[in-house]
Amino acid sequence: MAEERKITRWVVATEQAGTRLDKFVAERGAVSRRIARTWIGAGRIHVKGRVLRVLTRPLRAGTVVEFIGQEPETGAASVREDRSDRAPDNLILYRDRDIVVVNKPGNLLSETDRFGGPSLETVVPRVLEAAGERSRLWLVHRLDAVTSGVLVMARTSSAARELNAVFREARATKTYLALVAGYLRKGRDIDAPIARVKGTRHGVVSGGKPSHTHVAPLVGSREATLVRATPTTGRTHQIRVHLASLELPLIGDQLYGGPRYRGEGPKVPIGRAMLHARRLKLPHPRTGEMMTFEAPIPPDFEEVARAFEIWEPSLS
């Protein structure tokens, strides 16, 4: 039986007017600021009925803030369950003396931001330390916070230099899976320049940086399509922007107009943009041997695909 969906509602009092969202959630949820930011990043905090992930957004008196899921007041066990910095069992896919290949969870930053929340840069070293291994790492490429999947990190400065060159010179092949709203009938080569539009939002803009993505449908319906995307450039939000430019935004991607809920009747919020880095092929930084790494499909991705009736069992 599916876990009962619970909603805890808080109202911003007059004396709390102007309080930023992460501080308000921490105070009302009786948790640390770091845990509050984790909830916000995971899409579990709704303001005025919509997911809000802007940590610093000041709140007005009378605003209703909702926590979606197990009530935070139920004790330490629920706090532990909500820690996105807890390493999943399949976090590390491969490691040797030069590289660590990880399976990044969705809604986890690749690199630590100015708020000091959990990221791969903090989670992976702890796993290596627990195994008695040296934990110094270099981040040589990134995935958006909302994106799950395969990512490689260097364990030496020489490996970092070589891998930086590999990505800069487009010698790595990256394959993603995406769930999009709408029907993609046939494959497309999207050759459209990308630039920042406003805040963190990017778009197809004349004069932007050259950007190319090949997309192909795997399973589709009138409502949604499971898509394979292969970018040959590495622009910020590239796949998300290119698919949105075709009026096929990622399911769960509120930044680019994707649907935020699924289901009929009581609607279930979708916790992130449905984008998964499925496969990465690149030369080993020391030996030059071509290596291919694959990240398993995360449960939330499969769950949403099944809900929209576009799941492909062979991907399991």
Active site residues: 144
User: Distance (Å, rounded) from C-alpha 53 to C-alpha 37?
Assistant: 9
- Long-range contacts of the stretch 202-211 (C-beta < 8 A, 24+): 202/235, 202/236, 202/237, 202/241, 203/241, 203/245, 204/241, 204/242, 204/245, 209/233, 209/235, 211/235, 211/238, 211/241, 211/242
* Class of residue 262 by CB neighbours under 10 A (exposed 0-12, middle 13-18, buried 19+): middle
Q: Which residue has the tokens 């096929």?
A: 248
Neighbour-count burial of 9, counting CB atoms closer than 10 A to its CB (0-12 exposed, 13-18 middle, 19+ buried): exposed
